[in-house]
């Protein structure tokens, strides 16, 4: 079960792309990065359905719940005894099948790019050309800490959505060439979400509830 969620936690990722260097393109890229910054800051809360596909084509589904700053929950489909919760400081992966709990600082995770509205993507992100003007793809990583991994976020330009963008999903490739794709659907923005949504039950002996 752990492999399913590694791309959401702290595995090193690597994606290569050739970027144009023309000044006009560079200016457009900076404008697009600012739009992504604006999107992340505008989405104070969101729920969506997700489908997660691994390199073997295995698909699992679930629901994502996000509340800024830093809170996120990946609730997997029935039959997948796995839960991932971000409480604003750390990401916790709970595997109920083997009763294990692992934690990473959110800043040490690729998801940190999505979960910290104070981060400036222009300092650690770059636009990946897609050839489709309706799609914006941004790769984010900390060049000083490559072990924290890379996340490539894919947005659709949608005027009715926050900052004119909607997060379509993201792609991760870990150091073992395990490709993981997340696709989001049925977005709902600005929904009321209680902090209790980011609590979890510790399955370990003599454990206690987190959150």
User: Mean pLDDT over residues 13-31, rounded?
Assistant: 54
C-alpha angle with apex 66: 211 to 37, nearest 5 degrees? Answer: 125
* pLDDT, tens digit, 9 for 90 and up, residues 81-99: 999 999 888 889 999 999 9
Which pLDDT band holds residue 11 (cuts at 50, 70, 90)?
very low
* pLDDT value of position 65: 96
* pLDDT value of position 114: 79
Classify strands 150-157 and 135-141 as parallel, antiparallel or unpaired. Answer: antiparallel
Give the Cα separation of 140 and 121 in Å (integer). 7
Whether the bond between 69 and the residue before it is cis, its omega within 30 degrees of 0, is yes
Which pLDDT band holds residue 39 (cuts at 50, 70, 90)?
very high
User: Mean pLDDT over residues 51-72, rounded?
Assistant: 91
Which of 68, 67, 89, 85 is CA-nearest to residue 76? Answer: 85
CATH number of the 32-191 domain: 2.50.20.10
Which pLDDT band holds residue 8 (cuts at 50, 70, 90)?
low
Lookup result for tokens 């792609």: 171
Which pLDDT band holds residue 189 (cuts at 50, 70, 90)?
very high
Q: What are phi and psi of 128, to 5 degrees?
A: -100, 120
* pLDDT value of position 205: 84
* pLDDT, tens digit, 9 for 90 and up, residues 96-126: 999 999 988 877 666 777 787 777 777 778 8
| pTM of the predicted protein model | 0.79
* pLDDT value of position 196: 92
8 A C-beta contact, residue 38 and residue 163: yes
User: Mean pLDDT over residues 70-80, rounded?
Assistant: 93
User: Mean pLDDT over residues 9-26, rounded?
Assistant: 43
Which pLDDT band holds residue 20 (cuts at 50, 70, 90)?
very low
Q: Bigger pLDDT: 61 or 211?
A: 61
């Amino acid at each position: 079960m752990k492999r399913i969620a590694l791309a959401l936690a702290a595995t090193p990722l690597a994606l290569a792309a050739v970027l144009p260097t023309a000044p006009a393109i560079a200016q457009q890229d900076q404008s697009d990065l600012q739009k992504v910054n604006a999107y992340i800051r505008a989405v104070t809360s969101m729920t969506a359905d997700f489908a997660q596909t691994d390199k073997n084509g295995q698909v699992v589904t679930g629901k994502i719940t996000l509340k800024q700053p830093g809170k996120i929950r990946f609730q997997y489909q029935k039959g997948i005894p796995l839960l991932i919760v971000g409480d604003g400081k750390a990401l916790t992966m709970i595997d109920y099948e083997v009763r294990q709990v692992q934690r990473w600082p959110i800043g040490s995770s690729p998801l940190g790019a999505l979960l910290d509205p104070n981060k400036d993507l222009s300092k650690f992100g770059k636009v990946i050309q897609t050839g489709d003007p309706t799609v914006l793809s941004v790769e984010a990583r900390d060049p000083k800490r490559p072990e924290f991994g890379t996340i490539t976020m894919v947005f659709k330009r949608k005027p009715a959505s926050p900052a004119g963008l909607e997060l379509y999903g993201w792609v991760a490739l870990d150091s073992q060439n395990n490709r993981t794709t997340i696709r989001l659907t049925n977005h709902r923005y600005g929904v009321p979400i209680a902090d209790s949504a980011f609590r979890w039950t510790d399955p370990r002996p003599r454990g206690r509830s987190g959150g």
